[in-house]
Homo-oligomer: A and B are copies of this chain.
Amino acid sequence: MQPSPSAAESSSLTRSELEHASPAEVRRAIREGRWRANTKRLALGYHQANLTIVPERYAFDFMRFCFANPRPLPLLDVTEPGDPVPRKVAPDADLRTDVAEYLVLRDGQVAERVRSLEKIWRKDHVGFLTGCNLSLDRVMLEAGMPLPHLTSEEAFPAQYRSSVRCTPAGAFRGPVVMSLRPVPNALVVPIIELTSRYALSHGAPAHVGDPAEIGIRDLSKVDWGRENVIPPDHTTMFWACGITAQAAAIESRIPEMITHAPGRMFVTNRVVRESTL
Contact = CB atoms under 8 A, between A and B. Distances in A.
Contacts of A275: 276-277
Query: In the complex, which range does the number of interface residues on chain A fall in?
Result: 10 to 19
A88 B60 CA distance: 17
B67 A75 contact: yes
Given A63-B63, A276-B276, A277-B275, A68 B56 contact: no
Stoichiometry, as copies per complex, reads: 2
A277 B275 CA distance: 6
A215 interface: no
A251 interface: no
Contact of A274 (B59, B273, B276): B276
A80 interface: yes
Contacts of A59: 60
Interface in A30-78: 56, 59-60, 63-64, 67-68, 75, 78
A170 interface: yes
Given A60-B56, A67-B75, A68-B88, A80 B170 contact: yes
Contact of A78 (B67, B80, B273): B67
Interface in A237-277: 273-277
Contacts of A60: 56, 59-60, 63
A275 B199 CA distance: 10
B63 A80 contact: no
A169 interface: yes
